[in-house]
Amino acid sequence: MPYCVQCGVELPPDASVCPLCGTSVLLPPDSHSAGTEGSRAAESEPMFPVPVASDGRNRWGLDKKRKGALELLFGLSFVALAVLGFSLVPSGADWFVPMSSVVAGTLYGAVLLAFPFSYRWIATGWISISFLFIGMLGVHLGGYGWTILTCSALALGWILLVLPYFLPVRKRPLVLTIQFPTILAFLSLVDYRSSGSSWFLPVALPVACLIVLSFSVLALRIRIFRYGDFPMADFILSFGCIACLAVGTGEVLAVRHATGVWAFGWSGPLWIAASALAVFLGAVGLSRRVRRYFTSQTRHS
């Protein structure tokens, strides 16, 4: 009878690795069949004797129902394409948009049926189809400007809303380091494509830097917080403070960019709210420290 040299547990006679730690079982070649103990164990009922049963899925992982629904969908799509083709092509009308819409609709449905039923896979499938469809439409219609912007927006949407679900929670910082430059790149692209004076460098970039700086300070504060879990109220108020500060800064910079004058427009109340929240949060933090100092059991040690 084999034993795991790492865990010290007895393993089934036919085991090749330990199921607990994955250590290989090394036995002389004839030892599996030798010995009365081994023979008795072989006669007994194994844990789950049937080999992994097929669950009715084919080699693409589709069960019978989904396969049937896919076949029906493709069949209907083929009929629709045939009808459209016979009616539009001879008449000389634009056949590309209606027919590619049918193809795109079919593919949306096919993604729903063929992909694993999870948000990240279905969202990825749909975004890819939209990307392809809009790209082809742009080539067909000849207008690349809006196509580039729309495809970039789709790519940005995928990075912001879907990518985090492909990575484990502990890799959130990596996700943020990808998302932030992508947002900046998208904004610069929009700025580059739009007519008029450039607003990216004088307005968008400083606001983005301010947001990153503020959230870094908040993250640091959460990291060094020593009185149990960081209070949710503090987090919400800090978030509100950062939002007010970012919108207010954006507005001041936009006014400066448009008129060349440093002045508050409609963002005055936001600046007041941001200042009040910052003062309040500072006071709460200070009072927490003072209370902690006078109630701590270990301050005399």
Q: Please, what is the minimum distance in Å from the beta carbon of residue 17 to other proteins?
A: 6
Binding segment (CB under 8 A) for other proteins, from list 8-16, 153-161, 197-205, 268-276 = 8-16
Q: How far is the CB of 129 from other proteins (least distance, A)?
A: 23
Nearest-angstrom CA–CA distance, 131 and 22? 44
Among 29, 36, 45, 260, binds other proteins (CB under 8 A): 45
Per CB under 8 A, does 61 bind other proteins? Answer: no
Which residue shows structure tokens 């500060």?
A: 245
Tell me: does residue 50 bind other proteins (CB under 8 A).
yes
What values do phi and psi take at 30, rounded to 5?
-95, 5
Q: Distance between CA atoms of 207 and 179, rounded to whole angstroms?
A: 16
User: Residue 221: helix, strand or coil by DSSP?
Assistant: helix
Question: Is residue 49 near other proteins by the rule CB under 8 A?
Answer: yes
Distance in Å, CB of 21 to other proteins, minimum: 5
Q: Measured from the CB atom, is 223 or 300 closer to other proteins?
A: 223
Piece of the chain touching other proteins by CB under 8 A; list 9-17, 106-114, 249-257, 266-274? 9-17
Options 44-52, 102-110, 148-156, 192-200: segment touching other proteins (CB under 8 A): 44-52
Q: Pick out residues in 92-111 that bind other proteins (CB under 8 A).
A: none
Cα distance between residue 295 and residue 25, in whole Å: 59
HSE (side-chain half, CA atoms, 13 Å) at 221: 15
Residue 220 touching other proteins (CB under 8 A): no
Q: In sequence order, what are the beta bridge partners of 190?
A: none
Q: Which of residues 162-181 bind other proteins (CB under 8 A)?
A: 168-169
Q: How far is the CB of 40 from other proteins (least distance, A)?
A: 11
Q: Which of 26, 52, 224, 261 binds other proteins (CB under 8 A)?
A: 52
Give CA angle at 39 (34, 43), nearest 5°: 155
Q: Taking CB under 8 A as the rule, does residue 18 contact other proteins?
A: yes
Q: Three-state SS for 150?
A: helix
Q: Which residues are registered as beta bridge partners of 3?
A: 10
Distance in angstroms (rounded) separating the CA atoms of residues 126 and 105 = 10
296 binds other proteins (CB under 8 A): no
Residue 219 sits at the vertex; the CA angle it makes with 221 and 225, to the nearest 5 degrees, is: 30
Looking at 5, 33, 46, 282, which residue binds other proteins (CB under 8 A)? 46
Residue among 78 and 166 whose Cβ is closer to other proteins: 166
Cβ 42 vs Cβ 35: under 8 Å? no
Q: How many residues bind other proteins (CB under 8 A)?
A: 28
Is 5 one of the binding residues for other proteins (CB under 8 A)? Answer: no
16 versus 198: smaller Cβ distance to other proteins: 16
Q: HSE-up of 112 (CA within 13 Å, CB side)? A: 8
- What separation, in Å, do the N-terminal and C-terminal C-alpha atoms of the chain show? 59
Binding site for other proteins (CB under 8 A): 4, 7-12, 16-23, 44-53, 168-169, 228
